[in-house]
Amino acid sequence: MDRNRREWYEILAVGQTGKWGDIRFYRNDDGNTEYLCCHMEYDADLSDIHWHIWKHTYDGVDVSRVAYKVGSVDDRETLF
């Protein structure tokens, strides 16, 4: 997929449900979702730099902050 087409599809996806081809959840030791990672293409490579990644920070059992970045799932911990 060329760059312009990818950007168009990503613009359509951000903020809308049902547009993601792949969604992955990564949990912390407490079983809470720490990272939510979404990509336009199903079964996208985890090293692809076009993943949309949300990091959840918790205050006890409640989510206290959600940070957003675009990058690879493999490098998600170094993004934030």
* pLDDT at site 8: 65
Q: Which long-range contacts (CB under 8 A, 24 or more apart) does 53-61 make?
A: 53/79, 55/79, 55/80, 56/32, 58/28, 58/30, 58/32, 61/32
**Which residue range forms the structural domain that includes residue 15?**
3-79
pLDDT at 16 over 60: no
Q: What is the pLDDT of residues 24-74, one digit of tens each?
A: 999 999 999 999 999 988 999 999 999 999 999 999 889 999 999 999 999
> What was the pLDDT predicted at 40?
86
The confidence score (pLDDT) of residue 29 equals 94
Tell me what pLDDT residue 7 has: 67
Q: With residue 7 as reference, give the H or E element that holds it.
A: helix 3-13
pTM of the entire predicted model: 0.77
Number of domains in the chain: 1
